[in-house]
Structure 1
Amino acid sequence: MRSIDRRGFLIGGLGLAAGAALTGCAGGRPPAAAPSFIGPADPAVAAAEAARRPGAVRDHTLRAVEQTIDLGGKTVRTWSYGDTVPGAEIRVKAGETVRVRLINELPKETTVHWHGLALRNNADGVPGVTQEPVRPGQEYVYEFGAANAGTHWFHPHVGTQLDRGLYAPIIVEDPAEPLAYDEEWVVVLDDWLDGVTGTPDDVMAELSGGMGGMDHGSMESMDHGEGEAGTTPSPGGFMMMGARSPLLGGDAGDVRYPHYLVNGRLPSAPVTFTAKPGARVRIRFVNAGGDTAFRVALGGHRMTVTHTDGYPVEPAATDALLIGMGERYDVLVTFKDGVFPLVALAEGKKALARALVRTSRGGRAPGAGVRPAELERLVIGYDALTPAAAVRLAGRRPDRTITMELTGGMMRYDWGINGRKYDPRTIAEVRAGERVRVSFVNTTTMWHPMHVHGHTFALGGEGIRKDTAVVLPGRTLHADFDADNPGLWMVHCHNLYHGESGMMTLLGYRS
């Protein structure tokens, strides 16, 4: 069997989950659903979409291409959406219909996953589960109602493609937006190696060999010296050793990256956001990284958290945020007068990405290595945030609990769920109308950002609403959701390389 095709966690080429072969809105044969589960072409999927009452159609074209990109004085050969990294933002209003024509000009097949959106199952972009992969030279149309407002993003679900330049934000505006602010700034964070030290496929090949008898727990005794990316290079160059973070419960990551980016730019050539002193700005943070959590702060300022993964929370002040891969946070900041660094510290990796905020024509920009004091102050956590009343999940005992043990380690690089690598024939059953609790039990010594497709869950039953949440080593996290979106849905670790190695599974609605 060839290696699992990623992020889509990967299924391209593994055959069709539960026998369901798929199609989206364009071309291809209709899926043949497994007899016991609702497939993406089932009438129940179309009925759920109709119930969302999708409105006016907003058309977009997305070209997936291979080209040379300038990261700010450093050019790399990579894959991207259009001619920029990140790709051009898609922005619509809640209730509108998004129709995107994907043109695949890459040398490999691909798909697009719309991360964070509770959309129709046959638009979810998981090859072998919700659609056939889009081959080179082909086109494919995604069409879905954008029901839930918020900060979301999109990326491939094939192989290690996400760790190239294939990602971009999709912002769904609330027509009845209650927040008052003057301007918006979308900030996309990333870790980067493609075209510099190798390719993501090279990384996967090295990691798949494991550590030859050395697991994460033994790393505490290793040298913590700093290389270019702030960690000790391994003999092959990609595997990270000695990245530690108390916030993440120990090991911070598996991969040594040479660069970290804010909106596609190196810290030595940062993007600059310009505003007037006193401007109230909504910053939408997206972590598009493959293996890196970022601790983010704006020098000289506090931030007020307003949303997690697109859903509102009761406003809460903080100095810094810890953002795992796939997570999003919205904050409000009132800018002071001057020039200030927005710094995204690669958590545990002793390196950073940065941008600048300028509200004054004068003033000298801080140096590329400046780390704001706010990074070492309050870093708000899930428990300190409360969902806004309008989005709080109604109190109800779970009708069904699905336990997912997160298993594996670095020694064999055998990440999995319930002791098994991904198998599309393994589907956890749910039924429409149920309150479902997914209990993520982390038995490993590594943290995992777990993502559920097609749904937003409440932490601990009535906590904040999210679709991606960090599960710390040795801890259990309960994610409750109402089963109201029929189909076959991925659940996986959003560490690209953990997912690619097998830490993913499927949820399926019974026919």
Structure 2
Amino acid sequence: MHTPSRRTLLSVPLAAAGAGLLSAFAPARSQEAAFVDPSGPEVAAAERRRGSGPVRSFRFTAAESTLDLGGRTVRSWAYDETLPGPLVRVTAGDVLNLTLTNRLPADTTLHAHGVRLRCDMDGTPDVTQRAVRPGADFTYRFAVSHPGTYLLHSHVGLQPDRALYAPFVVDDPKEPLEYDHEWLVVLDDWVDGVRGSTPDQVLRQLHHGGSTAGPYRVLHDSHSRLLDGDGGHVAYPCYLVNGRLPDSPSVFRCRPGDRVRLRIVNAGSETAFRVALGGHTMTVTHTDGYPVQHEETDALLVGMAERYDVLVTAGDGVFPLVALPEGKQGQALAVLRTGNGRSLPSPRVRPDELEGRVVPARSLVPDESVALEDRQPDRELRLTLTGGMRKYDWAFDHRPHDPYRRHPVRAGERVRLTLINATDMWHPVHLHGHTFALNGDNAAGALKDTAVVLPHRKIVADFDADNPGLWMLHCHNQYHAESGMMTILGYLK
């Protein structure tokens, strides 16, 4: 029997799915009980439990745009003709009301990455909603119950490797941190519109092993010590901080001695960044939106779609914030400037802190306010990450994404998820609609929604099944996901 690929799934006429949207898919191949519908009563009940506060309304228009990267102009797809897209900011307890208008020549959606939200607002096409057609719009409306640093992005194909992403900050009405300023730092690897390249051309090159159109962008023989193998397989021509190239960096200004909160977001599609601020140590306070016991570090390793919040006390002068693409050539740069700062640092500056201490996510300890309570798992799921560069056949358990295949869980369960990486490549794996606790040394660790699984290693993570629906689990390397490394966790009725 033919197994539809992700691309095939995205082109399925939804009228054929009926009113039940995706819940109609599972019974055709399974003797198990029906799964919760993304818009079912269980989902509505979970949303009511999140409460209903003030409504905060926003509007995005996704359209073809001309973008200035700071001396280089490119054509791409963007939200409101900006890179990154406009900041969306609400307070925990608010209801977000965001209308997406599609002026692209293709279907699109919007996914609130890392947010525990109602399932039918998750933005996964043909899993939780119908894709938004060209010329149409769709309003995402959901309660936002937890503060943190998040990311909005398209969830259709390789659209996130264009400019279809935006930062999303949820403020804590009882913010415990004390600081003078906030600096939003959005990292990206960029290929779209550079000498004719597009992400889709790059994917074809990865699959076919040669240049099908545009410049050849396949990277060979990269290596990263921190990632224990290849850094990646796409040779990006540009790396950005807040949409700017190193020759024309964004500059953050404050006074010497000011305490600054950096919200660091990796919006890249195929690159992990090692991040350091020259002349400073950083105090890690949050990862993926959730607080941790404060830990000092010289640098951070930030995988795709991971977020870290850190505090720094600004020195006197001009200081480079450098994001080094692991295993790749080039770098991204932004600048911290205080009272006596004058000239900008070199675009190729390499602060010593990049070679200093790097605190891994697995060693972070959750703050007591969010730590997962001790409990034995009710269900265990074991998935193996498979595939390789030669065939570019990334998958879970040697099976590329199949919309008929769901891994069942039940509401109220503590679920233990074991991800075993049987490949030579690292993978940042993301679970929609939930946060999980990384297990290390027999203790529940930091809460995250995206975690790096190193080659031939495994991670064990626990989460509470408290958000009914159908939820994607996938590699956040966009090229791996689009090639099949995705699956679905489904709540049983």
**TM-score by shorter chain over 0.5:** yes
Whole-angstrom distance in 2 between the partners of 1:236 and 1:336: 42
Q: CA deviation at 1:54?
A: 2.3
The alpha carbon displacement at 1:209 in A equals: 2.0
The residue aligned with 1:451 is: 430
Secondary structure at the counterpart of residue 389 of structure 1: coil
Q: Secondary structure at the match of 1:140?
A: strand
Pair 1:31 & 2:21 matched? yes
Query: Are the aligned partners of 1:297 and 1:372 in contact in 2 as well (CA < 8 Å)?
Result: yes
| Structure 2 residue 245 is matched with structure 1 residue 266 | yes
Output the CA distance in 1 between the equivalents of 2:297 and 2:40: 45
Secondary structure in 1 matching 2:200 = helix
Residue 4 of structure 1, CA deviation: 2.7
Match of 1:175 in 2: 173
Partner of 2:376: 397
1:31-54 Cα distance to aligned partner (Å, 9 max, x none): 363461001111000000001112
Change (3 A) 1:20 1:405: farther
Aligned to 2:147: 149
SS of corresponding position for 1:46: helix
Alignment of 1:29-428 (within 5 A): 31=21, 33-34=23-24, 36-197=34-195, 198-210=197-209, 237-428=216-407
- 1:235 shift after superposition: 11
SS in 2 for 1:240: coil
The letter of the residue matching 1:353 is: A
Counterpart-to-counterpart distance in 2, 1:288 and 1:432: 31
Distance 1:235 1:477 in 2: 38
Indicate the larger mover: 377-386 or 297-306. Answer: 377-386
1:251-285 Cα deviation digits (max 9, x unpaired): 01010100000000000000000001111000000
CA contact (8 A) 2:300 2:359 kept: yes
State yes or no: 1:509 paired with 2:458: no
Secondary structure, in 3 states, of the residue corresponding to 2:333? strand
Displacement of 1:463 after TM fit?
Answer: 0.5
- Corresponding residue number in structure 1 for 2:473: 491
Q: CA, structure 1 residues 283+362, in 2 after alignment: closer, same or farther (shift >3 Å)? A: closer
Unaligned runs of 5+ in 1: 22-28, 213-233
Which residue of structure 1 aligns with residue 31 of structure 2? none
1:206 touches 1:236 (CA, 8 Å); kept in 2? no
Q: Output the aligned Cα RMSD.
A: 1.8
Q: 2:10 aligns with which of 5, 9, 12?
A: 12
Query: Relative to structure 1, is the Cα distance of residues 2 and 270 closer, same or farther in structure 2, using a 3 angstrom cutoff?
Result: farther
The Cα of 1:30 is off from its aligned counterpart by 6.1
Secondary structure in structure 2 of the residue aligned to 1:250: coil
* Alpha-carbon shift at residue 12 of structure 1 (Å): 1.9
Instruction: Give 1:236 shift.
Output: 6.3
User: After the TM superposition, which of the residue ranges 317-326 and 353-362 deviates more from structure 2?
Assistant: 353-362
How far apart in 1 are the matches of 2:232 and 2:91? Answer: 36
Partners of 2:111 and 2:152 within 8 A in 1 = yes
Give, as a single letter, the amino acid of the residue that structure 1 aligns with 2:81.
D
Q: Deviations over 1:288-328 (max 9, x none)?
A: 00100000000000000000000000000000000000100
User: For residue 457 of structure 2, what is the aligned residue in structure 1?
Assistant: 475
Deviations 1:198-251 (A, max 9, x none): 100101111122589xxxxxxxxxxxxxxxxxxxxx996111111100110100
Q: What CA deviation, in whole Å up to 9, does each residue of 1:465-486 have, x standing for no partner? A: 0000000011110111000000
Quick one: percent identity of the two aligned structures? 56
Counterpart Cα distance in 1 of 2:237 and 2:9? 29
Return the alpha-carbon distance in structure 2 between the equivalents of residues 362 and 496 of structure 1.
Answer: 39
Distance in 2 (alpha carbons) for counterparts of 1:175 and 1:31: 37
Report the TM-score, using the length of structure 1 for normalisation.
0.91
Distance apart, 1:149 and its partner CA: 0.7
Output the TM-score relative to the length of structure 2.
0.94
Comparing 202-211 with 117-126, which one deviates more in the overlay?
202-211
Name whichever of 318-327 and 202-211 sits farther off. 202-211
How far is the alpha carbon of 1:450 from its aligned partner? 0.2
Q: Which runs of 4+ in 1 moved over 6 A?
A: none
The Cα of 1:363 is off from its aligned counterpart by: 2.8
Secondary structure of 2:482's partner? helix
Question: What is the rounded CA distance, in whole Å, between the counterparts of 2:187 and 2:481 in structure 1?
Answer: 20
Deviation (angstroms), 1:177: 0.6
